[in-house]
Amino acid sequence: MKVLIVGSGGREHAIAWKVAKSPKVDKIYCAPGNAGISEFAECVDIKAMEFDKLVAFAKEKEIDLTVIGMDDPLVGGIVDEFEKVGLRVFGPRKNAAILEGSKAFSKDLMKKYNIPTAAYESFNTPEAALEYLETSDYPIVLKADGLALGKGVLICNTKEEAKEGVKTLMLDKQFGDAGNTIVIEEFMTGREVSVLSFVDGNTIKIMTSAQDHKRAKDGDKGLNTGGMGTFSPSPFYTAEVDEFCKKYIYQPTVDAMKAEGRVFKGIIFFGLMLTEKGPKVLEYNARFGDPETQVVLPRMKNDIVEVFEACIDGTLDKIDLQFEDNAAVCVVLASDGYPEHYEKGFPITGLENFKDKDDYFVFHAGTKFEGDTIVTNGGRVLGVTAKGSDLKTARANAYEAVKLVSFENKYMRNDIGKAIDEA
């Protein structure tokens, strides 16, 4: 069969790598792809938001399955466009992708269906938001309602910081229209855990847990990023936590979306906070996480194409989802200065060291070809993932593996997975 993957980051590279392992697949295309993805797929110069061109390409090439990796096209309704012309596509329709596309919607959904989350209020004018802040407790969290590349969340320790945050989101429009509406919610403390799941509209199958590192600098300092590294599984995601979440969070979310007439098929990413009062939902995403995918898929035993098809066909209950009894750690190699100002275009050396390896991998996030040379082309450049018998071994292996690849202005955090030591 022929598969088209839509996207260009480390997540899509990991998906392409996993899809390439399926005996069902003869040919993979990726639009627009990147230099690393080209090892497994033929990259096509069509942007992720060019729906008409993507649909036309899929029809021309007789694509059997399209997998949408990115949030923007999902929220924009790309799945609906593919389905209109009878093409098979993996991902939620527009009316279901709102679970990620609007934080106000998802918070209202959780409130209505008693799914544990932080107390909150939504505002569509800065005046109302500022008035609310006058009587709020601090610290407090401000969130842009719409998509903001994983960066539209501000933790404010004082009233003054919060007022400045409202200005940043709603008046200065730092994240564009995503800040037209904002959610202000209570600040929760505890361990953050990411849990990805496959959903077919009725059944939900949980993948192994992971834990992300959002801040740019060691010690969780610096600005929020798209993710500087991750590990799987999380030692803090216990059997007791899993049981609670399955009963009060996971299945209730799927059932709530169905009850709202927004049947969800695809990936639901649960961002959880393990608070003293039990697990609560921080956020939902409607697609694979990045870089969580880079540690979850290498541990997955199943043929991912079979799982994708089961989600589309509503037969996920027949899939026995299995993961290896080991661990994985991903360290993101970024351009120094990310997520603000950084230079691109530096040659990358050492990539050949990762070819055909079973225990460590390099997933390209921001790369491109210049002639025959692969160069840096983004803030997050590569995700270096290593497996190990346990988390400490995987972490040690990952930090050994990052030494195998080099480029000018290479930057990384040195404490990815350090929380493992506290488990």
The pLDDT tens digits for 279-316 are 999 999 999 999 999 999 999 999 999 999 999 999 99
Residues forming a β-bridge with 373: 370
Q: With the C-alpha atoms ordered 63, 69, 70, 71, is the resulting torsion angle positive or negative?
A: positive
Q: Which pLDDT belongs to residue 2?
A: 98
Does residue 76 register a pLDDT over 90?
yes
For 89-147, what is each residue's pLDDT tens digit? Answer: 999 999 999 999 999 999 999 999 999 999 999 999 999 999 999 999 999 999 999 88
Q: What is the mean pLDDT of residues 63-78?
A: 97
CATH code reported for the domain at 2-93: 3.40.50.20
Q: Which pLDDT belongs to residue 25?
A: 98
Confidence of residue 152 (pLDDT cuts 50, 70, 90): confident
The topology under which CATH files domain 327-422 is Glycinamide Ribonucleotide Synthetase; Chain A, domain 4 (3.90.600)
For 376-413, what is each residue's pLDDT tens digit? Answer: 999 999 999 999 999 999 999 999 999 999 999 999 99
Mean pLDDT of the residues in the chain: 96
Q: Return the closest-CA partner of residue 184 out of 96, 119, 120.
A: 120
Q: What is the mean pLDDT of residues 205-234?
A: 94
CATH class assigned to 191-318: alpha beta
In angstroms, rounded to a whole number, what is the distance separating the alpha carbons of residues 204 and 267?
A: 9
Contact of 398 with 330, CB cutoff 8 Å: yes
CATH code reported for the domain at 119-186: 3.30.1490.20
Q: What is the mean pLDDT of residues 202-222?
A: 95
Q: Which pLDDT belongs to residue 174?
A: 86
In angstroms, rounded to a whole number, what is the distance separating the alpha carbons of residues 44 and 29?
A: 7
Structure tokens at 370: 């210049």
Whether the domain at 2-93 and the domain at 119-186 fall into the same CATH topology: no
What's the pTM value of the predicted model, to 2 decimals? 0.94
CA atoms within a 13 Å half-sphere pointing along the CA-CB vector of 400: 11
**CB atoms inside a 10 Å sphere around CB 355:** 9
Q: Domain-by-domain residue ranges, the chain?
A: 2-93, 119-186, 191-318, 327-422
Does residue 195 register a pLDDT over 70?
yes
The one-letter amino acid code at 28 reads: I
Q: Which pLDDT belongs to residue 423?
A: 57
Percent of the chain at pLDDT > 90 equals 93
**CB atoms inside a 10 Å sphere around CB 224:** 18
Indicate the angle between helix axes 103-112 and 251-259, nearest 10 degrees.
Answer: 100
Q: Which pLDDT belongs to residue 422?
A: 65
Phi and psi angles of residue 233, each rounded to the nearest 5 degrees, phi first: -85, 170
Of 75-79, 113-117, 177-181, 259-263, the least confident: 177-181
In angstroms, rounded to a whole number, what is the distance separating the alpha carbons of residues 335 and 351?
A: 16
